[in-house]
Amino acid sequence: MKLLNGQRNQCQACKEYFNSVGAFDKHRTGKHGVSRRCRTPEELLALGCSLNKDGFWITKKRSEDSYTPRSQDDDD
C-alpha cells in the first residue's frame, strides 16, 4: 500500500496513484457528465507523464541536468 500524504492521491475509478492534484487532473479527459474518463497509462506516457520511483504518476520527469538539490544555505 502506498502512503498518501500532502497532494498524493489515488483515483477511485482506475486505482492509479498520483503525486499531485495536477497529475491527477491531467489523467482525466472528456466532458463532465458526458464522456469523462481516466486516461490509460499509454495515453499518460504520450502526454509526457511518467511514474516516479515510488510508483506515482507525475506530470513530467525532471532531467538530471535541470535538477539542483537545495543546500541548507538556500534557507538563509
Query: Could you tell me the pLDDT band of residue 72, with boundaries at 50, 70 and 90?
Result: low
Q: Which residues contact 54 (CB under 8 A, 6 or more apart)?
A: 2, 19
- 29 domain residue, yes or no: yes
Cβ atoms of 15 and 57 within 8 Å: the answer is no
Q: Which residues contact 64 (CB under 8 A, 6 or more apart)?
A: none
**At 62, which amino acid appears?**
R
- 2 domain residue, yes or no: no
Assessment of whether the complete model's pTM goes beyond 0.85: no
Give the pLDDT of residue 60: 82
pLDDT tens-digit map of 59-69:
987 665 444 45
- 18 domain residue, yes or no: yes
- 37 domain residue, yes or no: yes
- 75 domain residue, yes or no: no
Instruction: Report how many domains make up the chain.
Output: 1
Other C-beta atoms within 10 Å of 71: how many? 8
pLDDT tens-digit map of 4-54:
989 999 999 999 999 999 999 999 999 999 999 999 999 999 999 999 999
Q: 65: which DSSP letter?
A: T
Give the pLDDT of residue 34: 96
Structural domain boundaries enclosing 44: 9-61
